[in-house]
Amino acid sequence: MLGCALLLQLPLALADGAIPATLDGNKLFETHDPEVKVSGNVIVGVMVAGAYQGLSKDLLGIRPPNAGDKAVCLKVTSRDGAYMSENNYGVKISQSDIVYLPYVSNLTRIVEEYSEPGSIAISATQGNCEQAATAAYFLPALLNEKRENLESGDLSIYINGFDATDVAYRIIESGTDLDDCDYIKEGRHTAYNFSCVIPRDKIPEADEITIEIAREVYGRELDPLTFRLLDGQHQEKP
């Protein structure tokens, strides 16, 4: 079991770049088991489309919209369910700063095998991993080499549809109709089997938005799920 303590100290910024978060335990907890059978959350990943590149390059970051002590639960799950990691981070920021989430894998060669888009899902939720599942998600993205800026791009949401035959999404604040998510046909999809891509220009410039996930089983509607996306990337630093 992961430790509950988080080191919430104020670290030095990387030059004028991102503020590094503190990894609880100072070593990633990660596993690789090709025979694993995964049954977990419906929402498996919420990320900028290219964020997976930040894992092998150790260039993963988020931008919380508000200052304060931040506890972050970072989960990484491969689509085939074989690779999984779950780790707590803590950081204290004085404004809406970019936060660098160190990710130095002990299974680098395994992680590099999931280099194709859609092969791995990342989620960074508010609070630590031992707490009850939260519906508040930060937005992981790829940092540049100097860890000064986050990549801007489309939003990818990876869904474990379980028995669902159709999945769709909508942004509540936009007041738009549901848009379909795509069923992932290729490869093994033990951990998730639907991909929802939201173009960046359709995402409102707000600190917090609410996204609804709708599911159907052969036309029978299941209870919708909603989550909050917390993202300060639209904010300009003073």
Q: What is the mean pLDDT of residues 65-85?
A: 92
Residues 142-167: tens digit of each pLDDT: 999 999 999 999 999 999 998 899 99
Using the CB atoms, write b or e for 17-52: b if 16+ within 10 Å. bbbbbbbbeeebbbebeeeeebeebbbbbbbbbebb
Domain residue extents for the chain: 19-230
Q: What is the pTM of this model?
A: 0.89
Residues 10-60: tens digit of each pLDDT: 333 444 579 999 999 878 999 999 887 666 789 999 999 999 999 989 999
| Residue 15 backbone class (left: φ over 0; alpha: ψ -120 to 50; beta: rest) | left
The whole-number pLDDT of residue 8 equals: 30
Residues 157-211: tens digit of each pLDDT: 999 998 899 999 999 999 889 999 999 988 888 899 999 999 999 999 899 999 9
| Separation in Å, CA 53 to CA 59, 140, 154 | 8, 11, 14
Q: What H or E segment, with its residue span, contains residue 73?
A: strand 68-78
Point out the least confidently predicted range of 11-15, 68-72, 114-118, 201-205: 11-15
